[in-house]
A = this chain, B = another copy of it.
C-alpha cells in the first residue's frame, strides 16, 4: 500500500514549505539570517511572565479550575479586552464578535473551512503571506492575484479580481508580510466601496499594525467600513473580518490570536473550532490577557524603539550599498523589506551563493506568489539583528548582487 493513494484531494495538494525547509538550515549558528519573520526573544516580557506564574501559585483553587476543559469561545476577559480595544467610532464590538484562536494562523484555518470549497475563487495580494497560502491551499481555492506597489493593493487590479466574484479578499494592510507595503487611506476607502459593490468579504490581517516606527498606519478596514455603513451597522451588514494576534507584540508561543467578525460568522467559527480542538490553552489566554492589560502599550513602545532602529539601519544600508538596478520598499514598520532584483536574476540561486560565499540567509520571493512569478524577488527581515550586524550583512549581500548582475 502507499499512503499517497489514501490522502484526500485537499491533503494530496499540499507540499512541504520551501521556507520551512530553509529554516532548518538556519539552525547553523554560523549563518547570519535575515530570513525568519520572527520577533526577537530578547524583547519578550519575561519578568511579567514570571510574576504571572507567581500569582498563579498563590491561587491554587483558581489554578486548578483553569486546567479543566473550558469554553470554545475563549477566556471572557480577553474577548472583552479585544472587543473594547478594537471598537471604533461607528462600530461597537462585544465579546460575541470575538473568538480566541491558537494564533491568527488558526483564525485563517477556521475561516478557510467556513468559506472555501474546492475551486472557490479568493483574492489576495501578489506577493502575500506564505502561511495564508498554505492554509487556504489545504482547501484548493482558485487564486485571483492582485498587483501591488508601495501603496499596497492597486485598485484597478482589485476591481479586476472582484469582477470574478471571489468569496473574499485576504489582505495585510499594514507593513505587509512579505512586501512591507502599507495600503494608503484613499485605497482603503476604495477597497471597502468595491467590497460592497461586488459583495466580497474582506479578511483584514492586522499582525503588524502596532509595529509602526514613524506615523501610525491609516484607519483599519474595519473602522473604515463602520464609517461607510453608518452607526452600528457592521454586525448586520459588515463584510470586514479582522484577525489579530499576540505573537508579534507579545510572544508567539502563547499561541493566542483572535477573529473579529459579525456574530453570524463567529458562531460558525466557534462550531468549527470546537470540532478542531475544543479550546485554546486557558492559562495561555489568561497570561495573554494580563500582559495585554498591564503592559502592552508600554511594551509596544519599547518594540517600536528597538525594531525602528533596526528598520532604519536596514533601509539606510540598502540605500547606501545596493546598485540602482535593485528596488526595495521604503518601509517604516513591521519586520520586512522586499527587494526586486534585476529581471532575470534568480533569488533562489542568489541564496545558494549567499549561503556558500557570505553565510547570509534571506527568503527567495517566489513562494509568496500564489500563481507563480517573483523569481527575482526576495524578503529580508530586520527584526532579530542589531543595526551594526544589519549594516554588515547588507553590505555583503549588496556586494554579492553587484558581482552577480
Interface residues of A, Cβ cutoff 8 Å to B: 1-4, 6-11, 14-17, 20, 38-39, 41-42, 44, 46, 49-50, 53-54, 56-57, 60, 63-70, 101-103, 105-106, 109, 113-117, 120, 131, 134-135, 137-139, 167, 199, 201, 237, 239, 247, 251-255, 262, 264-265, 268, 271-272, 274-284
B274 A134 Cβ-Cβ under 8 A:
yes
**Known: A3-B268, A284-B284. Is A278-B103 also a contact (CB below 8 A)?**
yes
Contacts A138-B272, A268-B3 hold; do A117 and B253 have CB atoms under 8 A apart? no
Given contacts A8-B116, A10-B113, A116-B8, contact A49 B68 (CB under 8 A): no
What's the Cα separation between A63 and B255 when bound, in Å?
15
Partner of A253, one of B69, B264, B271: B69
Specify how many copies of this chain sit in the oligomer.
2
Asked if A64 and B50 sit within 8 Å, CB to CB, the answer is no
Known contacts A7-B268, A105-B275, A138-B275; 4 additional CB pairs below 8 A are A38-B68, A53-B56, A101-B277, A255-B279
Closest to A36 in B: B69
Inter-chain contact A255/B277, CB cutoff 8 Å: yes
Give Cα A201 to B6, complex, Å: 9
Q: Are B114 and A8 in contact (CB under 8 A)?
A: yes
Most chain B C-beta atoms within 10 Å of own C-beta, residue among A8, A101, A274 = A8
Contacts of A17 in B (CB 8 A): 271, 274
Using known A-B contacts A14-B271, A275-B14, determine if residue A237 contacts B46 with beta carbons closer than 8 Å. Answer: no
Contact across chains for A8 and B277 when beta carbons are under 8 A apart: no
Among all A-B residue pairs, the 6 with the closest Cβ atoms: A3-B264, A67-B251, A102-B277, A106-B277, A135-B275, A134-B275
**Most B-side CB within 10 Å, residue of A9, A14, A275:** A275
A235 to B6, CA, bound (A): 15
Q: Are B11 and A268 in contact (CB under 8 A)?
A: yes
A277 CB contacts on chain B under 8 angstroms: 101-103, 105-106, 109, 255
A281–B268 touching, CB < 8 Å: no
* Minimum CB distance partner of A255 in chain B: B281
With beta carbons under 8 angstroms apart, the residue of B3, B63, B199, B280 that contacts A1 is B199
Collect the chain B residues with CB atoms within 8 Å of residue A138's CB: 113, 272, 275
Residues of B within 8 A of A265 (CB): 3
Contact B272 A14 (CB under 8 A): yes
Contact of B8 with A115 in the complex, beta carbons under 8 Å: yes
A252 touches B3 (CB 8 A): no
A53 cross-chain contacts in B, Cβ below 8 A? 53, 56-57
Question: A52 — nearest CB in chain B belongs to which residue?
Answer: B53
* 22 CB-based A-B contacts, threshold 8 Å: A1-B239, A6-B167, A8-B115, A8-B139, A10-B117, A14-B268, A38-B69, A41-B64, A46-B60, A50-B56, A101-B277, A102-B277, A102-B278, A102-B281, A105-B278, A131-B278, A137-B275, A255-B278, A255-B279, A255-B281, A276-B276, A284-B284
User: Which residues on the B side are within 8 Å of A237 (C-beta)?
Assistant: 1
How far is A113 from B135 in the complex, measured between Cα atoms in Å? 12
B6 touches A276 (CB 8 A): no
Give the residues in chain B near A49, CB-CB below 8 Å.
Answer: 63, 67
Q: Is the CB of B275 within 8 A of A131?
A: yes
Q: Does the CB pair B282–A253 fall under 8 Å?
A: yes
On whether A252 and B69 interact (CB within 8 A), knowing A3-B265, A272-B138, A277-B109, the answer reads yes
Minimum CB distance partner of A66 in chain B: B253
